[in-house]
Chains A and B, each alone.
Chain A
Amino acid sequence: MKISDIAALEQMTCMLEDYEDAEVTAGYTSDLLSDVMGNAEEGAVLITIQAHKNTVAVSSLAGISAIIICNNRPVPEDMLAASADEGIAVFQTSENQFKTSALIAQHLGGCPAA
């Protein structure tokens, strides 16, 4: 799926109109940035409640192209500014990380049954 496909989901509020519409090939759900740094796949969408500028820094270094902030956590201005600089898309949703992960997994072609 593409980032614009995430934007099209009704649960998502797009916080930043100007992003690179890259192909999303995986997802990663975590609130710990070192965990994201060490384990997230390149080209993944990050599902987190960690609405912070540092999340953008880690995403950029880890090759993550979009961030979804769950539970309607407020997204600080400096985080959006950083995302704009890095061309990383930021979404906000009222859903929690579990439901959001399930939703994204479905659109990525379904979760492996195991």
Chain B
Amino acid sequence: MSEEHKQPLQSSLRVQELVYGLRISEVMTSKVFAVSRNCTMRDVQTIMKNNSITGVPVVDNKRVVGIVTMNDLMNALEQGAMEHNVTKWMVGEVQTLAEDMPLSFAISAFGKFSFRQFPVVNKKNELTGILTFRNINHALIRELSRQLREMEQKNEQPEEPESLKFSKVYQLNRYDFENGGKASSEIKKFLKERGVPPKLVRRVAVASYELEINLVAHSIGGMLGFDINENRVKISSHDRGPGIADTEKALTQGYSTANEWIRSQGFGAGMGLPNVKRVSDEFAIESALGMGTMVQAIINLKPETENENK
């Protein structure tokens, strides 16, 4: 199997895609054990013990006001304070996750904070679930097995070498302008060699280059994934932060948060994301402060679906 070495990259793209598509609400545990302000540490201990969990949110009228973790419980135990109110021992300022966020943001959050679980809230800020690493692992394994099965089925019909099929993930590091552009050049060459019309190649190049530079100039690092078939080019950009405060603004021509140094490299004109959106047939962006940004751009390759005005 000469293609064996390609497999990890493909899988990594698939994981990225997987995370891109999944929402926290699909993965979290919806049955949450929570306590109210007037419960005692003893109550928390009983709940933890009976349900083998390590963190219990404290709620007031469905809003999360704190969380008691195994750590807090141990401290209370040491001080003989098990009959104390939870409010004395809980961690008050809780980092919550919104249930409609993509799963990748949760993964960023686990990387950023040392918490073992995050309470999940809905739009009204009410507790709807809890998310642990365990939830994420389960979801990933389930989805991966499903996709591996699909891949195995596909492998039974091998692709021709010159066909328009390609998937690859590129890693990009912050401020690495030296390598920003490499992925785009490779993709451009790949499409050109397979006779894709120059106008389409250019659109793919614009979207991919802008996303590449965005990762280098604005994110703390991330991945750029390409998934190409004869119908379309799908570009997914995925970073670990810092996230965009206002995506609406970021899509406005001329708006930029670039510093002087980035500008000295010729970037930061505030045209990056608007350029990507303009050349794409389908465009989606999601971002949350502290967790990251994801952009997906699709460019159709089939003439009947191609937008001639771009």
- Expressed in whole angstroms, the Cα–Cα distance for A31 and B180 within the complex equals 18
Contact indicator per residue, chain B 235-268, by CB within 8 Å of chain A (1) or not (0)? 0000000000000000000000000000001110
How many interface residues does chain B have, given as a range?
20 to 34
Given that A60-B185, A61-B209, A63-B202 are known contacts, is A34 also in contact with B267, CB under 8 Å in the complex? yes
Given that A35-B271, A37-B206, A38-B206 are known contacts, is A61 also in contact with B184, CB under 8 Å in the complex? yes
**From DSSP, what is the main secondary structure of chain B's interface residues?**
helix
* A62 located at the interface, meaning its Cβ lies under 8 Å from any Cβ of chain B in the complex: yes
- Expressed in whole angstroms, the Cα–Cα distance for A29 and B35 within the complex equals 65
* B234 located at the interface, meaning its Cβ lies under 8 Å from any Cβ of chain A in the complex: no
Which of B178, B198, B267 contacts A63 (CB under 8 A)? B198
Contact A33 B267 (CB under 8 A): yes
Contact B185 A61 (CB under 8 A): yes
> For B209, what are the chain A residues with a Cβ–Cβ distance below 8 Å?
37, 57-58, 61
A39 smallest CB distance to B (angstroms): 9
Which residues of A line the B interface, CB within 8 A?
31-35, 37-38, 42, 50, 52-55, 57-58, 60-63
| New contact pairs (14) apart from A33-B213, A62-B206, A63-B198, CB-CB < 8 Å | A34-B269, A34-B272, A34-B275, A37-B206, A37-B210, A37-B271, A50-B266, A54-B177, A54-B180, A57-B180, A57-B184, A61-B184, A61-B188, A61-B205
